[in-house]
Each structure stands twice: as structure tokens, then as C-alpha cells.
Structure 1
Amino acid sequence: MFLRNLCVFSPPQPLDVKTKFYNSDRDDLFLEIQIQNISPATVFIQHVSLELPEMYTQRPLNTLNVDGEYQCTFGTRTYLQTMEGRYYLYHLQVKGEYLERARTLCGVAKMGKLNIVWKKELGEMAMLYTVPLERKIESFGDLKLSLEKIPDTVVLEEPFQMTCKITNCSDRKMNLIVKMHNTTSVHWFGRSGSYLGKLIPGSSISFTLTLMCLQLGLRRISGLRIIDTTLKTKYRYDGAINVCVVPSMDKMES
């Protein structure tokens, strides 16, 4: 009697694929993909594509406008030598009808998959390499503060403005006011305790504040408080924003 042994071997993939998401304060993000040939043979990349969830649109950033024509940043070359790699960059945006839902997401989110069609030698049947995409979404608690507009540099002891946006990430309606507290390096202008309005879950509101820095160098903006009067909850935002403070040219010349 003879026993036949069947062994199944899974050949290793010749590609090492790394992905990284870059979050934005706005309702979009960027995806960076690094593909490296880790096999001893040349690999030919035929096609790279993304399959995203319905709530996202994509715009590849891998082309250049040369004399009115768009050309791939990699040229016409489609192969990778051993240990050679290349980068792909995509701009992802949330569709308008999904904005409120996207603003309340947290934890690990499924972001579709990355498909790479490759082959080792000319004439060889092409192979499909699929990489599932996941994005870790930072939890901002019930209320998220993001920066919409602020000068790159500000002048010492001269007022300037910054525009912020707050998003209700909770499942309840909020009734908000804003309070400002002066620090040794930052003084606020305007009436503290101003009413911002009511904010339903998933919605946002923008507001502009005026302040002045009293110390040179890179300074953290502190002393901002948002209070939900419904539950008497206070949200503190200290050091979330940095600004570069430079001396006045008029004072330097005098």
C-alpha cells in the first residue's frame, strides 16, 4: 500500500506594499502607497488601482502636465528591478451626501482595497495582488476643533485673526458658547462667553477670533474654551494651534 502526500506551497509575493493615510483638517485625506520589488527578478507593473467605499472619490496625483499633456511621473517605464520601489499618491474626498456620517466616524475604518496587476517576465500570465486598506481614525471626543485659517507668521503685539471650525461628533444636540482666557503669551480680544449657536450631531460651525501674541518665537495658542450649556460640559483647547511670532520691522528700524 502506498500513501501519497500532497503538499501545498504558497509562493511568496514579490512585492512589498506599504500604505499610509494623511488626515486633513478638512473633509479630505491623502493616501500614499509604496510598492517595492523584493524578489530577485524584475517585476513588471501593469496596473495600479483603488476600489474605495461609496462615500469617497479619488484623484490620482501621479501625473504631470507637460505642454498641455498629462504624463505619468514614472514615464513609460513599467518595470521594477530588484529592491527598487516607487510611490503613488491619491487625493481622497468625501462626497457631499456623506459628510455628516464621515465626521462622526472613529476607530478603524475599512477603506476598500488596492489592486496591483503584475508579472515577472514578458509573456507570462499577469497576476493580481490585492491589499485591503484600513484607516485609523483619531477620536476627537464629542467636539472636534479644527483650524480653517491663520497667518503663517504674526507680528509681536499686533492683533490678528484666526478662523476655527467645531464639529459635533456626539449623538446629541449641543448649545455652545465660547470663552477665552488670557495667558502670559496670548491675549484675546472680544467678549468672552459669546453664543455660538445650536449644533446637531454631525454638523459644524465656523467662527473667527481676534488675538495678540506677547512673546517672540513659536507660540502655542492656549486659553480657548467651548462650553455646552445643555450638559454644562467644558471642552479645553490648549496648545492645539501653533503660530510663529516675529518682531515688528518698524520697531527694529527705529
Structure 2
Amino acid sequence: MSSTQSLHSLAFRVMRLCRPTFHVETPLQFDPCDVVVGEDLFDGDSSSDAHRHLLRSQFASGDSSSSDLTYRNRFVLSDDSDAMGLPGLLVLPQSFGAIYLGETFCSYISINNSSNFDVRDIIIKSEIQTERQRIMLVDTSKTPVESIRAGGRYDFIVEHDVKELGAHTLVCTALYYDNDTERKYLPQYFKFMVANPLSVKTKVRVVQETTFLETCLENNTKSNLFMDQVEFEPAPRWSATILKADVHHSEKDGHTREIFKPPILIRAGGGIYNYLYSLKMSSAPTKVEGSNVLGKLQITWRTNLGEPGRLQTQQIIGNPFTRKEIDLKAVKVPSVIILERPFLVHLSLTNLTGKKLGPFRVWLALSDSKEEKTVVISGLQRMDLPAVEAFESLEFQLNLVCAKLGVQKITGITVYDTMEKNTHDPLPDLDIFVDSDL
């Protein structure tokens, strides 16, 4: 490219626009008063500050740091704020730096005329090329730059929200008239890599009807990340609740803490933070086919000096499950059940498919164990139910009786489709407490 560049009057210079960083000096400084008289000498004395400043001034009077090349007092704490190691100076970036997914890439581009004559009618284009797409950032085709004088330059700023990982190329081109009225074309390419600032690891566990999603965020950058928001957006038919640890009693009534909630810090170079969500599926059936997609995470953060970043994860997949045709649930179970007296259990049968199912037959299946069942049907051992339309529900009652005191289980309530000749999964066991009538 150097041989081609020598034939052109123009050349691009690209500088990344980044916020400066704090210049940190050696923070291991000490107060000379503590060395001489101890740090607790003036505790409780109203004149302690005046005495301390007097001693400091005496040490400073003998300090000729302007001419002392040994810097023997460079660790002396002349002011309380000096212990932070921040002298109030900012340092501009010394390199192009790392670029991370979710950030805004901002660059200052200067096109310089290094020739001894003016160039005219310059059409400037700047675009970002990735493996998937090309994004135009600047295009002056409709309003070309009239001229750039000899030794002059034309400057502009481009911004791009980084949404892809891997290799990126900033392509800058110029089409212009040279001194010999020849139309020339100058392309220049600036390549950079985009890394992932966060590693997102998830674990899914199912406990009865609740799905727990554990999310671990790991900081892969060299700066601290202050998490503004980590929000889980559930898929349709799912609802999500974030679970948090119990706070200290001193923070429960802190209204100010709720308004000015501090961001969560994930430290540089491998710091982690965990989030836990409780997910439940809606019981109302829909015409959308079920899947094991749980949802996705929306993550926003800021760095040390407030530079924002934003990521959206891919869809998080839960444990695979088979699509049920019907949903059998217990709607109401009596709170008080008397030994050997009949009681009613209210049940609901829901058709989860888009077609008509049934008629059905309901009974209590025998248990696999040799133990005698303590809860049986009172009356007819089988109940016939009509067909259920698509996405509709049917409520019915079973008349049961229990022959044993204490905590018992209602097991084996089974539904059989007489049309499809198909036996569906039984209702999960129901715990009941049986009392005597005395």
C-alpha cells in the first residue's frame, strides 16, 4: 500500500476517540505527624487540626523539593486527598485500545493533502465491513468537498454501534481531481478486532412447576464494569421474577437507597456476579406451539468514566419437554377431611391442542406397590366425561373417601381418551390431612 500511497496527494489518518483515564501516582504516602507524635495524639481535641497543620507547615518549611533532586519527601502526605493517589491529571489513550461488543466505536478521521497544490471535488466515503454486512458511515457523493488546500486537511467523526464479534474493517475512500485534472481514487483500510466484554453462563433447573435460571456474568475486560441493568425478558407464556438475598435490617427502610440504587460492580480481569430468576409458565393455553425457549437477557453497563455498553443475549434454551395434549389440575381440595367420610375434589381438564379431544374416562389407577390404597373413589369407580373443544377446559368432581388418619396422598387419578385409545399422564400426587370426627 505504501507504493500506491506515494502516487496520491491525499492520505487518511484515523484516531480513535476515547475518554481519558485517571493518572494514578504511588498511593503509599504517609502523614509526617503520625511518624513523629502518633496518629491518636490529637483525638478528641478541637485544636487537633490546627496542630496537625502547624506540624505539616514546619515539615514543609524545610522542604526544598523544587531544588531537591532526591525527592526524599515524595511520599509525604501534604493533604488528606493525596492518599487516593489521584493528582487530578487525566491521561489520553496511548494506543488504539481494545474494542468490545456492545460499545460505540467512535473515530476521528482526518484526510490530509501532503502535495504542493490544491485538490478539488473530493467525494469521501467511510464504511464498516464485517463478515456479515457493510455499513455506510459517511458519504459525500451528493455534497462533495470543494477543495483541500496544499498542506491542509478535512476532518470528520464517525460512530458505529458494535453488534458483531470478530474482524472489522474501517474502509475510507476518496475520489478527487489532482493538479493534472486526473480523477484519482484512494482506498485505505484499517482493521481491528471486536472482543466479547462479558461471558454469560446459564444453568437451568426445574423444581416441580418452577424453573430456576442461574446466570453468571464474568468480566473479560481490563476495566471495572458497573452494571446498570441486567433484565431477563421471558418468552411468551413465561413469567420471570428475580430472586435476591435478604437485605440487612438497617437497609430495609432505606427509601433513599431505593431511589439512588448503586450499580453492581463486576471487577476487571475475571470478576463475576450471579443472578437467579424464578420462571413459571402460564396455565392459560394458547394457539402458539410450545417450545423450550425461556427468553433472553438485556444487559447494560458503564465503565470507570461512564462509557456505556449494551448487550442482548441469544435466546436461552430450557430443558426439553414433550408437548402435552391435556392438562389435568386440582382446582380445590377440602382443607378439612374426616376419616371414612366422603369428600369432593374439584378438578380441571384443559385441552392444549387445536383439535377436539375425547370423550374421556377417569378413574383411580392401582399403585405399583403392594400397599393398600388409603384413598379410593366413593361410588362408581369410573367417570365418563364429554369431549373437550380445542383450547377449552372442563371442570368436574371426584367423590373420594379416606380410610386412614394423618397425612395421606391422593394418587393415580388417570384420564383415558376413549376416541384415541390413549392414556394420559396421571395427576401428580396430592397431599391431604385426614382427621377424626371426635
Deviation at residue 31 of structure 1 after TM alignment? 6.5
Query: In the aligned structure 2, how far is the partner of 1:71 from the partner of 1:178?
Result: 58
1:225 counterpart = 2:408: no
Deviation at residue 196 of structure 1 after TM alignment? 2.4
| Equivalence map 1:169-184=2 (5 Å) | 169-181=352-364, 184=372
Query: In the aligned structure 2, how far is the partner of 1:223 from the partner of 1:57?
Result: 29
Tell me the residue number matched to 1:79: 264
Match of 2:262, SS state, is coil
Unaligned runs of 5+ in 2: 3-166, 168-190, 367-371
Tell me the residue number matched to 2:54: none
Instruction: Return closer, same or farther for 1:135/1:153 CA change in 2, 3 Å cut-off.
Output: farther
Instruction: Return closer, same or farther for 1:92/1:189 CA change in 2, 3 Å cut-off.
Output: same
- Cα contact 1:169–1:201 (8 A) shared by 2: yes
Query: In the aligned structure 2, how far is the partner of 1:18 from the partner of 1:153?
Result: 43
Question: What is the aligned residue count?
Answer: 233
Query: In the aligned structure 2, how far is the partner of 1:224 from the partner of 1:95?
Result: 20
Task: Find 1:165's aligned residue among 348, 360, 367.
Answer: 348
Instruction: Return closer, same or farther for 1:12/1:148 CA change in 2, 3 Å cut-off.
Output: same
Query: In the aligned structure 1, how far is the partner of 2:311 from the partner of 2:358?
Result: 50
Unaligned runs of 5+ in 1: none
Tell me the residue number matched to 1:130: 312
1:188 counterpart = 2:370: no
1:34 counterpart = 2:215: yes
1:101 counterpart = 2:282: no
- Cα contact 2:204–2:319 (8 A) shared by 1: no
Query: In the aligned structure 1, how far is the partner of 2:215 from the partner of 2:256?
Result: 22
- Structure with the bigger RCO (C-alpha within 8 Å, sep 6+) is 1
Query: In the aligned structure 2, how far is the partner of 1:152 from the partner of 1:218?
Result: 12
Query: In the aligned structure 1, how far is the partner of 2:426 from the partner of 2:238?
Result: 32
- Cα contact 1:159–1:211 (8 A) shared by 2: yes
**Residue identity matched to 1:79:** I
Instruction: Return closer, same or farther for 1:131/1:219 CA change in 2, 3 Å cut-off.
Output: farther
Query: In the aligned structure 2, how far is the partner of 1:101 from the partner of 1:13?
Result: 39
| Equivalence map 1:9-24=2 (5 Å) | 11-18=195-202, 20=204
Deviation at residue 174 of structure 1 after TM alignment? 1.9
Q: Deviations over 1:191-216 (max 9, x none)?
A: 34433222123322222323233346
1:241 counterpart = 2:433: no
1:48 counterpart = 2:233: no
Deviation at residue 30 of structure 1 after TM alignment? 6.6
Deviation at residue 8 of structure 1 after TM alignment? 6.3
Aligned-pair identity in percent equals 17
C-alpha RMSD of matched pairs (Å): 4.5
Task: Find 2:332's aligned residue among 149, 166, 187.
Answer: 149
**Residue identity matched to 2:360:** I
Match of 1:199, SS state, is coil
Task: Find 1:207's aligned residue among 384, 396, 399.
Answer: 396
Query: In the aligned structure 2, how far is the partner of 1:75 from the partner of 1:88?
Result: 23
**Residue identity matched to 2:286:** E
Tell me the residue number matched to 1:139: 322
Instruction: Return closer, same or farther for 1:169/1:32 CA change in 2, 3 Å cut-off.
Output: same
More strand, by proportion: 1
Instruction: Return closer, same or farther for 1:166/1:21 CA change in 2, 3 Å cut-off.
Output: farther
Deviation at residue 9 of structure 1 after TM alignment? 5.1
Q: Deviations over 1:105-129 (max 9, x none)?
A: 34433x542110013x322422222
* Structure of higher CA gyration radius: 2
Query: In the aligned structure 1, how far is the partner of 2:192 from the partner of 2:389?
Result: 56
Instruction: Return closer, same or farther for 1:224/1:71 CA change in 2, 3 Å cut-off.
Output: farther
Deviation at residue 145 of structure 1 after TM alignment? 2.0
Match of 1:175, SS state, is coil
Query: In the aligned structure 1, how far is the partner of 2:330 from the partner of 2:198?
Result: 43
